Amino acid sequence: MDIRLYNTMTRLADIFTPIKKGEAGIYACGPTVYWYQHIGNLRTYIFEDVLKRMFLYNGYKVKHVINVTDVGHLTSDADVGEDKLVKALKRENLPLTAEAMLKLSDKYFDEFKRDFERLNILLPDVWSKATEHIKEMIELVKRIEKNGYTYSSGGNIYFDVSKFKDYGKLARLRLEEMQARVEADVEKKNQYDFVLWFTKSRYKQIMMWDSPWGKGWPGWHLECSAMSMKYLGEHFDIHCGGKEHIPIHHTNEIAQSEAATGKKWVNCWLHAEWLVLKEGKMAKSKGTFFKVADLIEKRYNPLAYRYLCLTAHYRTPLSFSWEAITAAQKAYNRLKENVITLKKDLTSSGDGQKFDFYKEKFHKAINNDLDMPKALSQIWAVLKDDTLGNKEKFELLVDFDRVFGLNIEKMEDERIDLPQDIMDKIQEREKARQEKDWTRADEIRDQLAKEGIILKDTPEGVKWEKK
């Protein structure tokens, strides 16, 4: 069955044709580990996880690389501003040293990986840290320089965009339109040129390396080109990221990579839309963002957020609100209740044709540019189909979950059995809560706590555990 993916470069849902039969090389722009990643960032990683799972479902061998930016990403996302890691050291009142910078980046990298675990995102085959690939970056600048695309000015090595044909082809922007994107820099021949290697900046840089152009550090765009080519080769299948990377970061990656190699770099470009609030895009710079930990604190299951992301196509904006995540939590809990019920009686109908019918519909949906809303609808269609036995329903849901990543097979009733008199007290407390008799509800909770029963009020109802 063909796989179609919307390629930002062609603006078409192209049939995926792998460079190597049965294999897919995927590079995803990773985090700058100067702070927590918000759930808007994580929507993109959920999309990329679904993409990877779709290829695995289709029998592909996948090589998945995610970079980790721990130096060189400036606050402007371009060539001016303070390094985000240096700014983070100041924010947290830490010493301005390389050791402290690496320690800080490891802290937020660990938090990022913890979010992957909470959201059931498959780990990449390669985590690629920028600070561990300086040699590859220097070699790439040498190749670009040798091919005549660079110039030195003010101590920095710039990429001369005017010498690269079709610059801006990904974003489909003309150079005069790009002029307004960047802050004026007197050292540039053209304002849309960009730095490959810094040796000087108006801002302090802590981590620096020896190079043919002087002691310095890499430009942010250079990092992704060097690391992706190290692990996936000079021509690979798919490059992913958020749509904000299209006009600058990914545009510059293409220019420097193809200037170095003289050939096409990436076959297919995939970009995720934003998670939005009423105020607009979720962003750390504006302070308008929520972390996975914030959802957990409010007693939402992180997989409910994953479910919410599956309800919208990755190329459409997804509105986040507490009402939306509450609805997703309820839907996730309803799915869980259905799965638990199925597992209690896995009888078979023996209807193989219906089984194949739903599996094909699901397969077509995921292969059609990751149409996850349509794929998700197959879960509920299966559960409502009385011609299917519980065994077939459960097997279909587990099969679908190879892509959904909702941990369906592991869904269990987490509550322990309690004596009837304890259950009566819990029900009495629930009634008191409904009648807003908080004093009585607290009294019952405290009584049960003395008996070793701890109650937890969650969005899906009260739960309990023994001390």
What's 346's domain CATH number?
1.10.730.10
Asked if residues 455 and 423 have their Cβ atoms less than 8 Å apart, the reply is: no
Please compute the mean of the pLDDT values over residues 175-196 and round it to a whole number.
72
One domain, residues 342 and 202: no
**Residue 359 is assigned to a structural domain of this protein:** yes
One domain, residues 191 and 216: yes
**Residue 415 is assigned to a structural domain of this protein:** no
pLDDT at 208 > cutoff 70: yes
**Residue 360 is assigned to a structural domain of this protein:** yes
Amino acid 188: pLDDT: 87
* Number of folded domains that form the chain: 3
Region at 4 (left for phi over 0; alpha for psi -120 to 50; beta for the rest): beta
DSSP structure string for 414-466? -PPP--HHHHHHHHHHHHHHHTT-HHHHHHHHHHHHHTTEEEEEETTEEEEEE
Residue that the structure tokens 């839907």 belong to: 331
One domain, residues 241 and 347: no
One domain, residues 141 and 285: no
Question: What tokens does 171 get?
Answer: 């974003």
**Residue 157 is assigned to a structural domain of this protein:** yes
Amino acid 427: pLDDT: 84
pLDDT at 177 > cutoff 60: no
Question: What tokens does 158 get?
Answer: 């710039």
One domain, residues 223 and 299: no
One domain, residues 163 and 258: yes
Q: Domain of 78: which CATH number? A: 3.40.50.620
pLDDT at 182 > cutoff 70: no
Q: In which band, very low, low, confident or very high, does the pLDDT at 337 lie, cut at 50, 70 and 90?
A: very high
One domain, residues 82 and 178: yes
Q: In which band, very low, low, confident or very high, does the pLDDT at 180 lie, cut at 50, 70 and 90?
A: very low
Residue 450 or 123, more confident: 123
Amino acid 110: pLDDT: 97
Q: In which band, very low, low, confident or very high, does the pLDDT at 280 lie, cut at 50, 70 and 90?
A: low
What is the rounded distance in angstroms from the CA atom of residue 426 to the CA atom of residue 444? 8
Predicted TM-score (pTM) of the model is 0.87
One domain, residues 264 and 289: no
Residue 179 or 250, more confident: 250
What is the rounded distance in angstroms from the CA atom of residue 29 to the CA atom of residue 37? 13
DSSP structure string for 265-299? -EEEEEEEPPEEETTEE-BTTTTB---HHHHHHTT
Please compute the mean of the pLDDT values over residues 83-105 and round it to a whole number.
95
Asked if residues 89 and 409 have their Cβ atoms less than 8 Å apart, the reply is: no
Region at 7 (left for phi over 0; alpha for psi -120 to 50; beta for the rest): beta
Amino acid 157: pLDDT: 97
One domain, residues 434 and 355: no
Q: In which band, very low, low, confident or very high, does the pLDDT at 281 lie, cut at 50, 70 and 90?
A: low
Q: DSSP 3-state helix, strand, coil percentages of the chain (rounded to 5)?
A: 45, 20, 35
118-155 pLDDT, tens digit per residue, is: 999 999 999 999 999 999 999 999 999 999 999 999 99
Q: In which band, very low, low, confident or very high, does the pLDDT at 455 lie, cut at 50, 70 and 90?
A: confident
The whole domain housing 304 covers 277-410
221-248 pLDDT, tens digit per residue, is: 999 999 999 999 999 999 999 999 999 9
**Residue 338 is assigned to a structural domain of this protein:** yes
Final residue of a structural domain among 255, 272, 289:
272
One domain, residues 360 and 332: yes
One domain, residues 44 and 157: yes
One domain, residues 28 and 141: yes
**Residue 306 is assigned to a structural domain of this protein:** yes
**Residue 432 is assigned to a structural domain of this protein:** yes
